[in-house]
Structure formats: structure tokens, C-alpha cells
A and B are shown apart, each in its own frame.
Chain A
């Protein structure tokens, strides 16, 4: 099953390199929103709380604009049934999850680098908390986005439905990552963020386990 899952991932990865369905949308979104944030802040002194919040706003909406493509593009191209004829639902789910993980990790790395470069007030004092938050947050985003993308791929109004459906599901994750990022900016000790990390790990584990069980029903008729 691991080999089949990686095969689905490589198929999506190669497809993305050729079509640039998600990458273009994501990069353009990141550059646009960061520019808007930069212009709106101007020379003002903004508190770390607000900067942490804005970072995750950029990440959330970037994820919303790109991660749904994994299933939506299959539906739009009519290849969903082809995939159904090739592998068990779990193979497709984990292949897509892996692809979304790689995509969100890459885009988050880009967002953070640009954010650190263009917003001088954004200074990370405890990098271990910040990196762990980024990794666990990306994991949570990918695990939630993958199953929501599978659900909305069959709907008519995919574009609007995706962020609307994602928001309540991602709210606990977003609140936790914002708190953890604030701790990293305040220079808190790693141990102080353990509670946040527990929540983030539990969130991803519960979502992936639920998605694994439910995906059969979503994937079939």
C-alpha cells in the first residue's frame, strides 16, 4: 500500500509540475496578500499578536486557494473514475494527503521566508516553538483540507464552498497555531508551548483517522 500511495503522490506531483494548477494560484496569492499586508502596516508598530494572526491568515487563505485542487482537478478532468478503477480508496486518500502535505510545507516555507524578509517587526525569539508550530500547523491544515477537498469536489460551487466549509473545521487549529506563534514571538520557553503542540498533534491524528474511515463513503457514489 505504501508503494501505491507514493505512486499516487508522484502522479500528482508530476501533474502539478506540468500543469501548475495549484502552484501558480498559491504563489500569486502569497505575493498579493503579503504586499497588501505590507502596504497596510506602513510604518506603524504592530503588536506580535497581530503579526502572528496575519501570518496565519495568509497561510489559511493560501491553503484554501491551492489545496482543494488535488481532488477538484480529478473531478474536472473526469479522471476520478479512472482512479477508482486503479486503487483502493485508502491509497488515493493517503496519496493525496501526502501531496497536500508537500504542497503546504513548501508554500509555508515560502510564506515565512517572505514574511521575515518584508516585515522587520516580525522577530521570532524562540525558533524551536515557531518551527514546531509551523510543521504541526501545516500537518493539521493538510489533513483537514484533504478530506474537505474530497467532499466539495463533487459539489457545483466548489470555489465558495471550500473556505466556508473549512473555516469551522480549521478554527480550533488556527486559534492554537496563533497562540503558539505568539509564544514564539514573545520568547517563551519551549515547555510553555507543549499544551498547544498536544492540541495540534491530537487535531491531526483525529482528522486523519476520521478521514481514513469516512473516505470510502466520500469516494464512492
Chain B
């Protein structure tokens, strides 16, 4: 796995006049994990989208260096695996076809053996040729894990990692996280205590907001 260094400096995001979060600073290297937590609407998903290069921050800089070479935002997708409720697969294709298209769009040679391994891992191998529209929400969520791991990313970002999953699905996801943690970078956006305990560091967006408000009051 390549060495990565992810750094967020003074990140702020506004939607119209509403400040979602401000002054977010942290950096991560291989083998580190962080959980971003906060109440609904605190900006967890917004922050992980900014890290993945899907959204631009209103202020601040996200820097991703791979093997000590700074990447452009357009290249982030090569190093990031992303699972989230708002990521959708193509319903008209089977799981296998989806992975095939994804690999080719990424510019990778489709490795059917690796795709089979991934589908076995996420417990979808027996249903690999069925159209995704026939899958349950839990199965779709498991397919997203196969999608996120297809290009063997250095950074794994999981927004609501347990969403729609049953006990077996959660165990599979935890195994994926445990395997990724020692060498890669793991970022979770969650409110689940069990998920939080898996990460080395917790960033609570509510606490940051409260601290900022208190500072403002003291200044006044």
C-alpha cells in the first residue's frame, strides 16, 4: 500500500448563510483512523464529501499526498474508497456487471477473480448475476463495499457504515475495517458507539461548534 498523508487545514463549509462547520484541522497517515460524529445536520456527510473531493470547502485546504507527491482534487478518487447511503449502484445491471463497468471507467483491467473474492466477502457471490434492482437495501449496502474496495484504495471513507445491514452484514463490514486499519487510512462518519470505539480519534462536530460559540461569547 502506498504511503498517504491527508491534511485538513482550517476547513469551513457554508450553505448559503448557514455555517455548517468551521476551523476543522486534522491530519492522518497510514494506519490511522478517525471517526467524525455529531447530531443530524452537524455536517458529518459534508465533511467526508470534502475529504473525498466531492465537495469544495468554502474556506480551507485539503491536501492529499501519496508517496510524498501532492495530488490534485481530480485524482483523489483513485485513492479513496467511499461508502455512503447516497452512493447508488446501477439498478439495471447485476453486481458483477456493475463492478466490471466501475473497473473499466476507473481505467483498470477488470480482474474477475478479485471481483469474485470481493463479492464472496460481502456475501453476494450467489446473487452476483441478478440485477441490483432485485436486491434488498442491505444487499445494496454490501455491494457498495465491493465497489469501494475494487481499486484497493489507501483511504476508506465510510459514512453510516452500518446503514441497512443485519448482524452478518455488520460483522462483514467490521472485518473489512479491521483489515484496512493497519496499513490504510480509515475515516468513519457515524454516531454509533461501537463504530466510534473502532477508531483512534473522534472528532465531534457538535463539541467543536460549542467551543467556537463559547469563544465568541467570551470575546463579546
Tell whether B89 is near chain A: CB-to-CB under 8 Å: yes
Contact A86 B106 (CB under 8 A): yes
Q: Give the distance to chain A from B33, nearest Cβ to Cβ, in Å.
A: 20
Q: With A85-B52, A85-B80, A85-B82 in contact, is A15–B92 under 8 Å at CB?
A: yes
CB contacts (< 8 Å) of A88 on chain B: these are: 74-75, 77
Assess the A89–B74 pair: CB atoms within 8 A.
yes
Number of A interface residues in the complex (CB < 8 A): 28
A1 partner residues in chain B, CB cutoff 8 A: 107
The answer to whether the Cβ of B93 comes within 8 Å of any Cβ in the partner chain is yes
- Surface stretch bound by B, among A73-81, A191-199, A203-211: A73-81
A88 CA / B75 CA spacing, docked (Å): 7
| Interface pair A11/B101, CB less than 8 Å apart | yes
Beta-carbon contact of A4 and B105 below 8 Å:
yes
Chain A's closest residue to B72 (CB) is A88
Q: Does A10 contact B (CB under 8 A)?
A: yes
Complex Cα–Cα for A81 and B92 (A): 17
CA distance A219 to B147 in the complex (A): 21
**Which residue of A has the minimal Cβ distance to B86?**
A81
Interface presence of A7 (CB below 8 A): yes
Within 8 A of A (CB), among B104-129: 104-107
Chain A residues within an 8 Å CB radius of B101: 7, 10-11, 14
Sample (18) of A-B pairs whose CB atoms are under 8 Å apart: A4-B107, A7-B104, A7-B105, A10-B104, A11-B90, A14-B93, A18-B92, A81-B86, A82-B87, A82-B89, A82-B147, A85-B77, A86-B102, A88-B74, A89-B74, A91-B105, A220-B55, A221-B55
Q: Can you add 19 more A-B contacts, CB < 8 Å, to A1-B107, A14-B93, A15-B92?
A: A4-B104, A4-B106, A7-B105, A8-B105, A11-B104, A11-B105, A77-B88, A77-B90, A78-B86, A79-B90, A81-B54, A81-B84, A81-B86, A82-B88, A86-B102, A89-B74, A220-B55, A220-B56, A221-B56
Give the 6 A-B residue pairs with the shortest CB-CB distance, closest first: A7-B104, A78-B88, A18-B92, A7-B105, A11-B101, A86-B105
